[in-house]
Amino acid sequence: MRPLIFLILFVPMGMRAQTFNLSDSLRDVFKQRITPSFGIDTRNSFITGSTAKIYSIKAGMAFGTRLTVGLGYNFIGTELQEEFIHDGQWTRANIHMNYFAPYVQYSFYRRGPWEFSTPIQFGIGKSFLREKTEAGIEVFNKDRVVLYEPGMAFEFKILNLIGVGAGFGYRIMLKNNKGIQQQFTSPVYALRCRLIFDEVYSRYKKYRQADVAAPTE
């Protein structure tokens, strides 16, 4: 519900502030210089009311500064357990879920220090229970999961060198693992703080060029 309220509040504001045509803008975006994009991020979510962190490793391509596309590997990094019956007895095992997800992030509004973007990903992977037994590590109730995670993020740039912001979204389970009795559909949120390396590098190059060009006595 909270992500829905956020989208209702901010999407119209962002759309009203846009001064460009979307189709023309996308055409221009694909003409921009392509650079590699790599990232590691952490998002917070819930599994049946318990907080569950999601870690993600991403690699892709950035078209200028507006559009990034790529592939990410995501997994739950919080230890959560579920009770189930094994060999006629109730036992507890750790809950795991990992998935690969193609993703797209489009920056639709940029004005002054503010930037708003829409990250979207579609994931396919597995969820399962894992327990350490006398025979070693055993996996139970493993099955495929399919999910969709739309979101929205905003960032405020400080001196164009540091970006601080937050992201909100919703994890929608299109196909759940019926062997695990947990609710994986959940709001997703993250707080962000990053150093804007492109700007740091650009300023460093200008400083070096000015230093070289400066006359010596």
Of 24-28, 88-92, 183-187, highest mean pLDDT: 183-187
The answer, yes or no, to whether residue 192 has pLDDT greater than 90, is no
Question: Cα–Cα distance between 83 and 61 in angstroms, integer?
Answer: 42
Each residue's pLDDT tens digit, 141-165: 999 999 999 999 999 988 878 888 9
| Nearest alpha carbon to residue 122 among 102, 98, 136, 143 | 102
Of 15-29, 130-144, 163-177, highest mean pLDDT: 163-177
Between 13-22, 83-92, 122-131, the lowest mean confidence (pLDDT) is in: 13-22
The answer, yes or no, to whether residue 16 has pLDDT greater than 50, is no
Q: Which residues contact 175 (CB under 8 A, 6 or more apart)?
A: 144, 145, 146, 147
Q: Which residue has the higher pLDDT, 9 or 169?
A: 169
CATH class of the domain defined by 2-213: mainly beta
| Predicted TM-score (pTM) of this structure | 0.76
Residue 138 neighbours by CB distance under 10 Å? 13
